Amino acid sequence: MDNQVFDWRSQRVIVTGGNGFLGRHLVDHLRSLGAAEIVVPRSRDYDLREKEAVVRLYEQNPDATMVIHLAATVGGIGANREHPGLFFYDNMMMGTLLLEYARRFNIPKFVGIGTVCSYPKYTPVPFKEEDIWDGYPEETNAPYGLAKKMLMVQSQAYRAEYGYNAIHLLPVNLYGPGDNFDPKSAHVIPDMIRKMMDAKAQNLPFVTLFGDGTPTREFLYVKDAAEAIARAAAAYNAPEPVNIGSSFEISIKELAETIATLVGFQGELRWDTSKPNGQPRRKLDVSRAEHEFGFRSFTTFENGLRETIVWYTQQQISLSMT
């Protein structure tokens, strides 16, 4: 089954986190596929950490046929170190309540979005889905990663006991237009873009970056991620988690050099080795996604970076004119 034969016109989809970075792209993509209705609960109206709010959401949408759970409390290394309790509680409670009451309200399908942070710190590269239980996650993001991993366990348990159709996807680090550039919580790509563009504008001689630059990461363009989620929602109905990635690995040092070139920053890249590196390597085995629902990423890394930089530049111009 694929998006060509799956009838999105009959689907009424609740997308939690639909106003977020990934959510906005997914909602746009679902609209392009012809989804009959897309409900995006706003956090000011529904605190998804509270049972009453989740119940009310489902009561108000009795014809929902699918829940895609994107909502999450997330951030970069600094935010993870500062708020481990918050990241654990928020993500655990949202996932647990949304899935439990989706089952109780007989919503036919639940698509849980996990995280590459659920993998053990020292996972053989490329990460295979069956490796996810072979150790403890990297310490700085373990509370977040474990909370998301429990959603996977819950999905599998509900399928085993209740026959409930819940699936779990494991996307790698995302980037692209609309990303979070807040210096307190941004992930590595938007953080580097902001720092280097600010330094260039101010004629600063250097920027300071976390760690020593040796770790590697895999990144997936956000519009590719939206395509993958839609394909899985349409075609995948099994208990095993599925990696969602690009299968492209790059060191943080090379990433910084690439961004510097693209934004035209010619100053020094200084590394603050008092800050943590995070997980040593990240690269996914993405063969299951291709086999099960035909997904392969289609945006090259450099093209995706260019699009992200263009978007951020336009936002800065808009802000300067207000």
Q: Which residues are catalytic?
A: 144
Geometric angle at alpha carbon 135, from 130 and 140, rounded to 5°: 120
Alpha helices in the chain (DSSP H): 21-33, 51-59, 77-82, 84-104, 142-162, 188-201, 222-235, 252-263, 287-293, 301-320
Contact 175, 225 (CB under 8 A): no
Instruction: Please state, as a whole number, how many other Cβ atoms lie within 10 Å of the Cβ of residue 79.
Output: 22
* C-alpha torsion sign, points 91, 67, 240, 227: negative
Tokens of 265: 């920053």
Geometric angle at alpha carbon 180, from 188 and 265, rounded to 5°: 50
Which CA distances in Å does 270 have to 46, 139, 216?
43, 24, 18
Residue 122 host element (H or E): none
- Which three-class secondary structure string do you get for 159-200? HHHHCCCEEEEEECEEECCCCCCCCCCCCHHHHHHHHHHHHH
Three-state SS at 56: helix
DSSP-derived letter for residue 74 is -
Query: Cα 154 to chain center, whole Å?
Result: 19
Three-state SS at 275: coil
